[in-house]
């Protein structure tokens, strides 16, 4: 039985190596043409004719975006941590949504600098400990935008400085209640759902504070 297990392990390792080699040899996308069809303050839309790695020649309409940051701010003064959620009206969704503080990365900024700025602007809070949490594409079928999520700890309350068109309400929600909001469908914002579930796994369920922090 031991010999068989070793053979299976070797085969599995060989398959994994073969997959990695195939991925590294993947053909690049060939861009035949790219035309900007719309320009907005924070993004633009291009219509591209490309040959994808499969060899298929296709048209792709893509929203080009510099990327966004999301802040999972955690108040841990009590035995159960609370998550800082904000509520604001979203025209595209035609409703008020509970979200995590977030915003786009300005030109010349790195993600951490943008996250610190957005937290202060939208909520007035600042934090002394910043932990990289998640990085994902919210809608990669047509949207180039990435979202970088940071957990912010050791919060300090200050004065918010929202933009003129931002009307934001802040609320510290116990983590277990925030998870209930996710599971019951009360939270509709994707980045908030991802952040809350990450926090539940990382801090609440495991109870650990061992992390790699950034100042």
Q: How many CB atoms are located within 10 Å of the residue 208 CB?
A: 8
pLDDT at 207: 40
pLDDT at 166: 78
The pLDDT tens digits of the residues spanning 152-206 come to 999 999 988 877 777 999 999 999 999 999 999 999 999 999 999 999 998 755 4
pLDDT at 24: 54
Strand partners, 84: 172
Domains of the chain in sequence order: 28-64 (no CATH), 68-137+148-205 (3.90.79.10)
The pLDDT tens digits of the residues spanning 3-57 come to 444 443 444 444 444 445 445 577 899 999 999 999 999 999 999 999 999 999 9
The pLDDT tens digits of the residues spanning 90-116 come to 999 999 999 999 999 999 999 999 999
Residues 6+ apart with CB under 8 A from 110: none
pLDDT at 10: 45
The pLDDT tens digits of the residues spanning 10-24 come to 444 444 444 454 455
One-character DSSP codes across 97-119: EEE--EEEPPTT--HHHHHHHHH
Q: Span 126-142, mean pLDDT?
A: 97
Strands (DSSP E) found in 77-203: 82-90, 95-99, 102-104, 126-136, 147-156, 169-174
């Amino acid at each position: 039985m031991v010999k068989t297990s070793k053979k299976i392990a070797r085969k599995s390792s060989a398959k994994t190596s073969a997959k990695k080699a195939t991925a590294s040899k993947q053909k690049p996308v060939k861009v035949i043409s790219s035309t900007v069809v719309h320009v907005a303050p924070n993004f633009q839309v291009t219509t591209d004719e490309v040959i994808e790695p499969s060899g298929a020649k296709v048209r792709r309409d893509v929203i080009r975006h510099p990327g966004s940051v999301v802040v999972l701010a955690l108040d841990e003064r009590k035995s159960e941590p609370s998550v800082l959620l904000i509520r604001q009206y979203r025209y595209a969704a035609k409703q008020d949504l509970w979200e995590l503080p977030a915003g786009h990365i300005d030109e010349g900024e790195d993600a951490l600098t943008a996250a610190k700025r957005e937290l202060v602007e939208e909520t007035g809070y600042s934090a002394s400990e910043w932990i990289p949490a998640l990085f994902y594409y919210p809608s990669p079928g047509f949207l180039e935008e990435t979202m970088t999520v940071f957990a912010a700890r050791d919060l300090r309350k200050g004065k918010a400085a929202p933009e003129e068109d931002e009307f934001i309400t802040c609320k510290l929600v116990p983590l277990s209640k925030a998870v209930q909001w996710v599971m019951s469908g009360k939270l509709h914002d994707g980045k908030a759902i991802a952040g809350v579930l990450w926090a539940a796994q990382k801090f609440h369920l495991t109870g650990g504070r061992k992390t790699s922090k950034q100042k």
